Amino acid sequence: MQYLMSVIDDTGNLATPEEDASINVFNDRLQAEGHWVFAGGLGSPDAATVIDNRGGEAIVTDGPFVETKEYLAGFWIIEAPDLDVALTLAAEGSKACNRKIEVRPFL
């Protein structure tokens, strides 16, 4: 079973060196224990572009698809047998990156 762990940020700041260091420790652990699938940090919502090609002509819009105070700053995709394991990992991930985390199952 795979889960998406979304990192929710409202600070507008990049991770500090300390946060980066503890994220690396957490990532190593995910890999060592076989939970690691993929992870990445994202550029700020200001760098986002929305494209809509449903109508035949691709319409390009500057900025994120929705303006919110809280935004997605990064994510992990993990492999876990059930939600309890995923929540335990998310709790550690939240501590490591010092941000809130949303856990959501893949279909």
Partner 1 sequence: MRDPAVDVRAAIIRAHHEEWARLVAALTRRFGDLDIAEEAVAEAFAAAVERWPADGPPPNPGAWLTITANRKAIDRIRRENKRDDKQKQAQMGYDDGPPEPLGAIEDERLRLVFICCHPALAMDARVALTLRMVGGLTVPEIARAFLVQATTMERRITRAKAKIKAARIPYRVPSADDLPARVSGVLAVLFLVFNEGYLAGSPDADPLRHDLTTEAIRLTRLIRALLPHDGEVAGLLALMLLIEARRPARVSADGELVSLDEQDRAVWDPELIAEGHRLVRERLAAAAAGAAPGRYQILAAINAVHTSARDIRDTDWSQVRALYDQLVAVDPSPVIALNRAVAVAELDGPQAALADIEHLEDDLTGYHAYHAARADLLRRLGRAEESRAAYDRAIELAGNTAESASLTRRRDQLG
33 touching partner 1, by CB under 8 A: no
Is 82 a binding residue for partner 1 by CB under 8 A? The answer is yes
HSE-up of residue 60 (Cα within 13 Å, Cβ side):
3
Classify residue 55 by burial, with Cβ atoms within 10 Å: 0-12, 13-18, 19+: exposed
Closer residue to partner 1 (CB): 1 or 21: 1
Could you tell me which stretch among 17-25, 41-49, 58-66, 78-86 binds partner 1 (CB under 8 A)? 78-86
- Residue 95 interacts with partner 1 (CB under 8 A): yes or no: no
